[in-house]
Chains A and B, each alone.
Chain A
Amino acid sequence: MGIGDRGLAGQAEAGAVHAGEGGWVSSKLDAAVAWARRWSLFQYPFVTACCGMEYMSLVSAHYDVDRFGAALPRFSPRQADVLFVVGTISHKIAPVLKNVYEQMCEPKWVVAFGVCTCTGGFYDNYATVQGIDTIVPVDLYIPGCPPTPEMVLDGIMKLQAKIDRQKQELV
């Protein structure tokens, strides 16, 4: 139903370890809840560095991430579903990122926006965390330094496909 079937090749692999045990979408309720959740992604933009400039272009009128229901940035982790980690994460801000992630309510997803968050980028030095998956479980990696808004939109579509494949956490 919906985006689930047209999703990526290699759909059958187990869904995200992250949210819910089984990956295979079974019941109609799951599909309905998944549909609702993937089209209303409220994001917490944890912006730190240069990717923030591309994030501005992404949420503005030209590339407009609102077409995917993901435009309204919520600056409190309580009201956010997706944690957009945008820009380099240094060791000094790593505990802040950990706290913000912990304070988000389930179901929650994490998007690593930019290569600095995926692997530390070309800042392979004493000050930079080499990839935020050493701190928080990440659902989507968007490479690019900075990724062009089109790459991020493609990433959001992949995230939506992933949400659709997941077994929805209920109760």
Chain B
Amino acid sequence: MSENRAVQSPPDELHSQTMQLTMGPSHPAMHGIIEIRLVLDGEKVMQAEVEIGYLHRAFEKSCEQGGWNNAFPYTDRLNYVSPLINNVGYAMAVEKLLGIQTTERCNTIRVLMSELSRVTDHMTCIGASAMELGAMSVFLYLMKAREFLYDLVEAVTGARLTISYLRVGGVKADLPEGFAPRTRKAIADSREVLSEVDKLLTRNRIFVDRMQGTGVCTKEQAISYGITGPFLRSTGIDFDVRKANPYLIYDQLDWDVPIGSVGDNYDRYLVRMAEIEQSFRIVEQCLGRMPEGPLNVDAEGKQMAPETMVDLAKLGRTEGLIQRPVLVEPTLEGSQRARAQIVNVYDRRVVLPPKEETYASIEGLMNHFKIIMSGHGIRPPAGEAYQAVEGANGELGFYVVSDGGDRPWRVRCRPPCFPIMALLSELLVGEMVADIVPTFGSVNMIGGELDR
């Protein structure tokens, strides 16, 4: 209390009582599923206990029910703001278990899509926490920019959010035609929106006062809790899985890791804004170095429509069909042979044969059957593997255990925002009630990933 004579703290027996308050699950700033039980003295937080688990949807148990490829739709919904990174994490963990290497073009596509997904995550996080501090227009600008990226993701994968784009051993389909110019245009528009947001927020007196100095996390706290990602980098430690243990083609691209200094909310905001720029740099380099496989099949003979091939195969007239190229939409419906090979690893145990071989030859049909039918599917050797990728909130690790069967024995997802939430109650105590909102906003807690 201020030592000034006139305004002393009241005599002892008249102490103010503390108030118990739950900043409960159904609260706009609590992203819907976090309950914080607060004990307040006036506006100062004396105790804070965080209650999670409101979005526990049994992800790890669900993965054990179906085959190895069945888990992809579940992994989209872990960190549903950057779903592609979850897919990449899970796919690489299973490929590490199988010991197979994916093709160069597939790695480039995976890096490109992961970085687009990371940008949407940072945009949503900054937009939501800015809106919770009152900057409504920043939220609307960033949602507009996010629509540009959602259009791109939808063009490649077919869905905006729950994409299930990857498969063990490759991706579902190649990039569509004209993807590179569309991406460059989307990046240019997004950069324009982001410069507006930067002008609005970065030197905004209200925003800076609310974010600076609140939710300060020291290096020791971060390491003791096992925190990674923008939260750790904002304290000054430059740990980024893409640089520390490079995977896919991250070591062949040049980009750098932005780090903060103090570790408060403002540093985390600056780290996320800088990371968006780095991700755009990576995407542009990926577009530049995309190994040009034959995007559309160079048709020696007359191209067949897929339905006629299917009818012929059903009538049994299959001689010579294997050599006939089929004009099939390169992305979703079927996958032409040449394109399939450059995008998926050519490993019969894991990747579905292209449609031409499935319908035209008995080996293709048997191969298709062996992979699809339950009891046969992908059967990695008995053992375990842990693969870590850099998620938007930190190291997203997948620990997969196989008993040799066609179903995963155990799939464990290391949630990056789980340790940060464990630290949250320590960050809140001693600060104002109003500081809970920016601190919780910069934690970027995603329910699906936290409660799995």
Contact = CB atoms under 8 A, between A and B. Distances in A.
User: Is the A/B pair a real complex?
Assistant: yes
Interface of A: 45-50, 52-54, 56-57, 60-62, 73, 75, 86-88, 90, 92-93, 96-97, 100, 122-123, 125-128, 145-146, 148
Contacts of A92: 53-54, 56
Contacts of B262: none
A134 to B, nearest CB: 17
A146 B57 contact: no
A122 B55 CA distance: 14
B134 interface: no
B55 A88 contact: yes
B24 A96 contact: yes
Contacts of B139: 60
A87 B32 contact: yes
B376 interface: no
Nearest to A87: B32
B54 A57 contact: no
B147 A90 contact: no
Contact of A96 (B26, B58, B127): B26
B162 to A, nearest CB: 6
B116 to A, nearest CB: 15
Contacts of A52: 31-32
A50 B28 CA distance: 15
Contacts of B62: 122-123, 125
**Closest 9 pairs (CB-CB, A-B):** A60-B143, A50-B80, A125-B58, A47-B32, A93-B54, A48-B32, A75-B28, A127-B58, A123-B57
Interface in B121-177: 124, 127-128, 139-140, 143-144, 146-147, 150, 160-162
A83 to B, nearest CB: 10
A47 B27 CA distance: 9
A56 B147 CA distance: 11
What size tier do the contact residues of chain B reach?
Answer: 35 or more
Contacts of A97: 26
B24 A61 contact: no
B303 to A, nearest CB: 33
A54 B150 CA distance: 11
Nearest to B143: A60
A127 B57 contact: yes
27 contacts: A45-B28, A47-B31, A48-B55, A48-B447, A49-B80, A49-B447, A53-B81, A53-B124, A54-B160, A56-B124, A56-B127, A60-B143, A61-B144, A62-B144, A62-B147, A86-B32, A87-B55, A87-B447, A88-B57, A90-B55, A92-B56, A93-B26, A93-B54, A122-B73, A126-B58, A127-B57, A146-B162
Contacts of A146: 161-162
Contacts of B53: 92
B448 interface: yes
Given A50-B77, A87-B32, A100 B26 contact: yes
B61 interface: yes
B237 interface: no
Contact of B57 (A62, A75, A125, A148): A125
A60 B110 CA distance: 29
Contacts of A123: 57-58, 62
A162 B143 CA distance: 31
Contacts of B81: 53
A120 to B, nearest CB: 10
Given A50-B161, A50-B162, A90 B54 contact: yes
Contacts of B32: 46-49, 52, 86-87
Given A52-B32, A53-B161, A128 B144 contact: no
A77 to B, nearest CB: 9
Nearest to A50: B80
A48 B161 contact: no
A61 B140 contact: yes
A100 B28 CA distance: 14
Contact of B143 (A48, A61, A88, A148): A61
B396 interface: no
A48 B27 CA distance: 10
B291 to A, nearest CB: 32
Contact of A57 (B73, B74, B146, B447): B146
